[in-house]
Amino acid sequence: MLATTAAARSLLRASRFTTPATVAVRSFASIEPYSDYGKSVFTGRVADEYLKKHGSSGDILKDPSWTQSHSDTVAKAVLDWAVDRGANTYCHWFQPMASSGVRHGQTGQVQNMMMAFNRTTNDIEFDFDGKNLTKGETDGSSYPNGGLRATHTAGGYLAIDTSSPIFLRGDTIFIPSAFVSYYGAALDEKTPLLRSNAALSKHGKRLLAHLGLDIGDQDVISNIGLEQEFFLVPRDQYYRRPDLQMAGRTIIGKDAPRGQEMCDHYMAPPSLSSPALACMQEIQDECWRLGIPLKTRHREVAPNQYEFAPLFGLNTTQVDQNLMVMQIIEEVAVRHGLAALMQEKPFNDVNGSGKHNNWSIGTEDGIMLLHPAKVNKATGNDTAFAVIMSAIIAAVNEHGDLMRMAIASPGNDFRLGACEAPPAIVSTY
């Protein structure tokens, strides 16, 4: 990309004196510059390469029962991969309840070195096996649902979530996990999601069987695509606003003299004269290494508001990736002299930031249950789509209060219900 008009003129002058014999022939596009995509995620070719060194293959990860039968093998492969990538630490990475809008990254973790210290020889040796990989224990008493428990039942227990891949960042591998109390009460946001997925699959398979489609051992799954809107503001101005620092949004002061009346910011070309584009490019680069498929970036409606949108995927994986996207956005912004605001409504009188959840359901082999032609053809039943859609509408109507509770938070309630989507009334077409 040409940085100045002078550079463009210089290149034009040079081209006038170029002979046909020296003109290079353009080669086919190469994917090599993007070969680092997913290198920091233990799945696919990466997992297969390291598991084969231990007499297995990446196929074992497709069956969640590997946690019972092959956990030590997988742990050895993960250790080799981590050491080759410069990591020596692991953590069970979870999503504690009520963390929204408060903690950086909105996740919890206790980082442990994958090392043992020999007291006899004073040598260091690697110490990471199947037990370390698949389960963990920490204090659960300080989280919601935890403070009233007796001391002997105050532990919090972590178990690996096999539906979301292990990933690596810096010197640490992150093991996505569910977090429960001594008696099995959820202390996190993921456990209810996993239980919901199990219920959806159980009854979705039952419905499909009645409609004429037996999917065998497959599951009915939820796919989502989580868009992420955010604001980028100059960091020196951010430090002048204690309310932005403490609450994530403005509490006092006048409205901005200019808002979004002309919608001139929405989808406007990113400017090379500001650090926002370079910041977003670096965010995408970091996310790609983690196998996060951020395909889309653009300016949003409000001034200084931007958005990333990924390719859709399994809901548990997408939620985990979105949490990491938000953390990366906040951290990379600092390197560009910016502050990233993730709160739902940081400024009055302009749009807030949504996390639009593009939801669908389907089978593991790709039959989309909300695609009329495909689901009707797969079931051999012309009424299949209408029945499935009716079931969804009935569920929303019956359990609307639970859905409302699930999305209710101070930030979300401050943003929604006015001029921004979705409105208070939900319509089905």
pLDDT value at position 145?
A: 61
Given a cut of 80, whether residue 426 has pLDDT beyond it is no
Containing H/E element for 306?
strand 305-310
**Is 252:325 a contact under the CB 8 Å cutoff?**
no
Among the listed residues 198, 161, 186, the one whose alpha carbon sits nearest the alpha carbon of residue 67: 161
In this predicted structure, which of 240-249, 295-304, 330-339, 402-411 has the lowest mean pLDDT?
402-411
Given a cut of 60, whether residue 118 has pLDDT beyond it is yes
Return all residues near 410 (Cβ < 8 A) that are at least 6 apart. 101
| Amino acid, single-letter form, for residue 96 | P
- Over residues 290-311, the mean pLDDT reads 94
pLDDT value at position 18?
A: 42
pLDDT digits (tens, 9 = 90+) for 9-57: 444 444 444 444 444 455 567 777 778 899 999 999 999 999 999 999 9
Q: Enter the pTM of the model.
A: 0.88
d(CA 187, CA 146): 8
Percent of the chain with pLDDT over 70: 88
Given a cut of 80, whether residue 102 has pLDDT beyond it is no
In 23-129, which residue ranges form alpha helices assigned H by DSSP?
Answer: 44-52, 66-69, 71-84
| Amino acid, single-letter form, for residue 167 | F
Q: What is the 3-state secondary structure (H, E, C) of 191-224?
A: HHHHHHHHHHHHHHHHHHHHHCCCCCCCCEEEEE
In this predicted structure, which of 42-56, 79-93, 409-423 has the lowest mean pLDDT?
409-423
pLDDT digits (tens, 9 = 90+) for 373-404: 999 999 999 999 999 999 999 998 899 888 88
pLDDT digits (tens, 9 = 90+) for 205-257: 999 999 999 999 999 999 999 999 999 999 999 999 999 998 888 998 888 88
Give me the sign of the Cα torsion angle 250, 254, 255, 257. Answer: negative
Average pLDDT along the chain: 88
For 12, 183, 326, the CA distances from 19, given in Å and listed in that order, are 14, 79, 51
More reliable by pLDDT, 412 or 294: 294
